[in-house]
Each structure stands twice: as C-alpha cells, then as structure tokens.
Structure 1
C-alpha cells in the first residue's frame, strides 16, 4: 500500500462516480468491484443483501430511511453481531420484518426466496458469509430471472476496495453526493496514515489473534489478505504471513513464546455473541461498556502462555472490534493499528476522532459502545 496507490484509487472513485447515469431511457451500466459490467434498471427501489451487515454501507447513502429499499438479507448480522443488531432493532424495528434469504454461510443463500422478493438489485461481497464470485450457479439463476447482481468488497482487501465499493453503491442507488461525502472523509483518514509512514522503515513484528475465544485453540490468525493487509498498511510485519499459506490458520503459542512479537493485537466480537462459547473471549462492540471490555481483555491475556508474551508484559497488547473488518469503516481500525504499531509516529493521533468522523457521523443509529481497549 503506497500513497501513489491511494491517489490512484481516489481518482478511480471520482471517475466511477462520474459515469453517465443512464445507458438508455430504461437502464444504465456500472462496473462492479469484480470487474463485471452490469446493467441496472433506472430506478433501484428493492434490494437484497448477500450479507446482512451491508446495511451499514446502505445506511451511509440512505441515512433518513436506511432500510426502505432492503427487502431481503442474509442472517449474519443478527447472529454474528447481535449487539449491533440490537441497536439497529431498537432504532428501526422494521429490520425484524426483512425477509431472511439465508443464514451465515454462502450455501444457505436461497435463490428461490430472492427471486420471489422481486428485487431490482442483489448486492454480494467478493467473499464472506454470502455467495461470492465463485458461486456461478447462483449468479446464473439470478441473471436468468432478470435480476442484476453487483459485487462489493469490504473484507478481502478492505483498504483498496472500500472506495470503489461505496462509489458503486452510490451510483447504483442514485446517491452520488452521499457516497462522495463519505469517501472524502475516508480518504482523508487513510491518507493521514500513509503520509506519516512515508520514510518509516522500521517494521515491528505484529501478531494478530483472530476472534479471540471463539475456539479453544491458541492462536487463530490471518496469513494473507483481509486483516493482514491492514497490518502491513499500518507499518507492521504480519508474523503469521510465512506460517499460514491461506487466509486463516493456527499459530502455536509455543512458536510465539520462542519468536516474540513486538505487538499483540486481538480481535473481538460483542457480549451477546459470547454466550456459550470458550472462556477467554474478548468482548467489544456496540453497547459494550468500557469496564466489561477491559475485564474481558484482561482475562484473555491471562491465558496460559499468552500472559508470558513480552508484548503483554510490557503493555503493547491491544484489542479491536472484529467487525471493523467487515464493513466500510475499516479505516478506523487502520488508525488504531498504526497508533499501536508506531506509537511515536502517531503520538497525536486520536482514533476516537476518527470513529466520530468516519463511522458515527455516517450512521443513523447511535452505536454507543467500546470498540477497542488496551492491556491493563
């Protein structure tokens, strides 16, 4: 990730947003993040979301009535981020009435239910809990029914693909100005990190433990893509990269004790999702009080072996809300990682201000809670 790439992407966003609104009197074409040229109807009033958590992206564009176009969505939002879903349900009870077109896996997606909802548009992600580009049968069935599908990406390569994804949605929904306002704030926040890291050659070793406490094994991590790209962009070296050939895998605590990380970072999900799972779960997210977040992190760091990591003993252990990496607000996580990895370079950086400027400003729901915490 370089500043040059950032400027290129910003230019690409402007070009995409400036595409002609119509290809004919009845339709128009867009190019999605998968590089597919898709013909859309002139008016998009009914949407099906291939991931429920995409409502946060739609809400950036339709803040006054964020659910008015959503007629169907996958069930991942309620299952995987129940704290956030509860705040949305409190503010917009109609979310409960949106038709479920699947659960939390791509194979659970129902083409039949989707077609029955008669959507003007289906929005998928390149990867995640809904169908991706490799689900060719699903795509063929929807296309045969005359339903256009576009791909966005806030997960595989979040920093690169968030700008064109939001520009694409702004074009599809006729919300160019709203998309541009968000992209301006997002780009300014990202550029602050990239500019400050120019000329910084030190790359501290960072170990990221993924969704701490979801399983009994220590320590789940990410080798390539997704969160790994964030570590690199924030000026760190992802220790799991040479150890995990794919996206995710396990790094043993014995390895970490022998090859000590300079910085330990755990990702965390919310309090309701912690019920019935392994001990040592870090709890962060919407509705989570600060004292619960701190105590849960302290308990997670007290696990056998983890407590003996130098980063834990010297106060260079931190935790961040996992769902920053599944939506358009990933630049908040970039600011946190950069400050934790290079505290001297970013001594004057306040991630709380980033949260306000890039996330809370563009969401219609009051997402109060605790989104990160540090070692006690």
Structure 2
C-alpha cells in the first residue's frame, strides 16, 4: 500500500490554519452571545428634574424604585426582563391586588429582589450595588430624601435617572415618560404616550375658559380608607386637591389643613356645602370599611361602601348629597400617567355641557388594551347612584 506523508512545514501550516478557523468561530460565537448594548453608542438622558445623565447605551440591568405601571406602559411587558430589583413595598405592600395581577403576566416579578423603601428606612445602596444595575430609575421623592444613598451609588459609578409623576406638572410627566423610553430604548412608544397624555391634558384645559363665567363649583375630597366613622385625609395643593383646582373648581380644604393633607373638620364640610364630594377608594388590605375600587371592585360593592358616608350627621343637607354628586375614584390614579382619566371624569361631572363628549371609562380601557399587559376590569370611578 502506498502511503503519503505531509512534509513537516506543510503539516504545521495546516494545523495553524485549523487553529485560526477555530479561534475565528469561537469569536463569532462569543460576539453573538454578548448583549447588543455592548456595541451601542452612549446616550444622554434628560430626567424629570432636568439632569443630564450619561449611559453606555439602553439599559440591560435596571433597578426600579417606583412608578411600576408607568414603566410597564413605556417599556412594555418585555422591559421587565431587564429589571433586576424593585422597591417592593410601594407596589406589593400598598396595592397587593394590582401587584398580583402583574405577577400573573410578568413571572420574574414574583421573586424580584427588593432594594428597600425610602419611607421605612430600608432603601439600601448596598442592595442596589449588589445587583450591578446599569441605572437606577428613582422617584423624585426618594431622590430628595436619600442623599446618602445617592452619594453611595455615585461613588459606585451607578447612574440615577429621576422620574416624577407626583409633582402633577405637565412638563415632568412628559419628561419622565420620555426619560424611561430613552433608558429602555423604547423612544417611539414613550413619545406616543407623551403625546397621548399632553393631548388629553390640554383638551381639558383648553375648554376651561368657557366655564370661567359660571359660579365656581365647590369640591370636597376625602380618603375613604377607614370607613365613615373616621374622617379621612383631604388634600390641599397636591394629589386630588391639585386636580380640583386645575379644573377651575374650589377645593374646600384649601387653607384649612395644617399641611398638604390631613382630616378636614366635619363642621367645615357642612359649612362649605360642597357641590361635589369625591371619596378616594382603592384595593387596600385589611380595610373592611374602605370604599373598594380597582380591578376587583364590583359597582354594587363600591356603592354599598359609599352609603355610610352620605349617612353621616348633617350630610343629608349637603348639596352634593341631595343632587347625587358623590363619587368614588381610585386613589392610585391621582399622580400617574393615567391621571388625565380622573380629570376627564371630574370635568365631565362638574361641567357636563362642556365635556359631554368625553368618555373616561373608554379612555381607561383603551390605555390598558394598548399599553398594559393586565386587562381592564372592575370599578375605577363612578357616582353613588347608577
């Protein structure tokens, strides 16, 4: 049998060629496995308070402090695959019924690491740093109260983007929405939401001059959490109080509270004789006398819980009670990307001739269908009488 041998130099070149091919193939495999942001250009994000924040590219690891539903609307359900930690208390603790619905469609929420909460002293730079996030999306009220944590994150090289829907200012709503979109690489979705919000907001404000000649309607808002036996908080200059005055109505709590919120004396409510009463409800746990609203609330249950309020001493003489202008509204809506919906509802009840064409429930349903993974259901706002 004839045998052929490869000369040693040629054999060496052949081995080297095979090694080079293997190395090249390994590089291709490695590059395919790297996250796409490793090749992305750096980006600059302008946050809600005007800070310019530099990021290496759209974030792949996000720590989220608040505004969970706003984040979902802007980043989409898939955006949660890049979240590595949240402040669980403001969502799971405050609104567990809503949190559970999101867990059903976003499985990694169930075991999501907790980065702590500023109000109870558990907000932790150490926890955040251990998760190695590219960025922290932080609520303005956390930013303002947590300077030590901010400094520690800065020292660790972790950028912070401030989000602020709580200020109830149009420019901050828009800046927050666009900032989330920039961070997550979903700018077109964010811009669509920003334009939806601004258009809906201005649609209301642009019509208010036509009611300026009418007598100002007087409105009383009460947090309906502990039942009619307890006078709940009212609001001045913030939350529902700010929405009421934005709509050109008179908030009867203005000038009568020691701070931005607190109980308004029963005598003051009777003396003011408001044209409208708003009971802010929610899906609180262990609050059997609360006015229930939200995904799981049936209209009959909400109206049944409202009845003890209108049966308070003297309330039968209040104009709002006599005319049926007593309303329940989901408390969580007042400082959010969907707060234009309760604004529509209240505007339509205050000035029916001017806002007759608005359909706030349809707006809420549409928002859920287009931007949220959780379908619309339940009771979010309604009058005491069908």
- What residue is the counterpart of 1:73 in the other structure? 86
Question: 1:118-157 counterparts in 2 under 5 A?
Answer: 118-127=132-141, 131-157=142-168
Query: 5+ residue gaps in structure 1?
Result: 1-21
Q: 1:261 corresponds to which residue?
A: 274
Q: Is the alpha carbon distance of 1:215 and 1:291 closer, same or farther for their aligned partners in structure 2, counting shifts above 3 Å?
A: closer
Look up the SS of the partner of 1:265 in the other structure.
strand
Q: CA deviation at 1:336?
A: 1.2
Q: Note closer, same or farther for the CA distance 1:188–1:333 as it changes in structure 2 (3 Å cut).
A: same
> Is 2:206 the partner of 1:195?
yes
The separation in 2 between residues aligned to 1:367 and 1:348, in whole angstroms, is: 21
- Deviation, 1:169, is 1.0
Return closer, same or farther for 1:315/1:329 CA change in 2, 3 Å cut-off.
Answer: same
- TM-score where L is the length of structure 2: 0.83
Where in structure 1 do 4 or more consecutive aligned residues deviate above 6 Å? none
Computing the radius of gyration from Cα coordinates, the structure with the larger value is 2
Q: What residue is the counterpart of 1:36 in the other structure?
A: 51
d(CA) in 1 for partners of 2:73 and 2:154? 27
TM-score calculated relative to the size of structure 1:
0.85
How many equivalent residue pairs? 345
The residue correspondences of 1:215-254 to structure 2 (distance < 5 A) are 217-254=230-267
Q: Do the aligned partners of residues 304 and 320 (structure 1) sit closer, same or farther apart at CA in structure 2, a change above 3 Å counting?
A: same
* Runs of 5+ consecutive residues of structure 2 not aligned to the other structure: 1-36
* CA positional deviation for 1:357: 3.3
| 1:255-304 per-position Cα deviation (integer Å, ceiling 9, x unaligned) | 1111211111111111xx242x363x110011222222222222343344
Q: How far off its partner does 1:108 sit?
A: 2.0
Give the whole-Å Cα distance in 2 for the aligned partners of 1:65 and 1:214: 39
Q: Which residue of 1 aligns with 2:381?
A: 372
Aligned residues: CA RMSD: 2.3
User: Bigger relative contact order, structure 1 or 2, given CA contacts below 8 A and separation 6+?
Assistant: 1
Pick the aligned partner of 2:185 from 174, 178, 183: 174
Q: Contact (CA 8 Å) 1:159, 1:331: kept in 2 or not? A: no
Q: Give yes or no for the alignment of 1:322 onto 2:331.
A: yes
1:26 offset after TM fit, Å? 5.5
Which of 55, 72, 93 is the equivalent residue of 2:68? Answer: 55
